[in-house]
Amino acid sequence: MISPLKLYFKWGIRFEKPFILPDRGSRKVSYMERDALFQAVDKKYPQKKQQPELPEFFSEFEDTPDLGKKILLKTLQENHQDGDAE
């Protein structure tokens, strides 16, 4: 059960002088572009890129020239990203 507390002045508590905060409402505010904000967050907190798991048959292509490997790997990555989007 929650019991409500009385306000401090109803308990007889008094302060010597009132506590007044300085007015900070008229300070200048600047905003950042949305894309710049996302870039700054990505730069400060980079996320580890997920590499798609390569299927077992990929080992068959070890003798493939580098260009062929790059094309095959790019295709696998695109298929992996398409699978995440669904």
The rounded average pLDDT for each run of 10 residues, N- to C-terminus, in the chain (86 residues) is: 72 82 83 93 85 64 64 76 53
> Hey, what's the torsion of the CAs at 37, 38, 44, 48, to 10 degrees?
180
pLDDT of residue 33: 94
pLDDT of residue 34: 94
pLDDT of residue 79: 75
Q: What is the pTM of this model?
A: 0.31
pLDDT of residue 7: 78
pLDDT of residue 36: 94
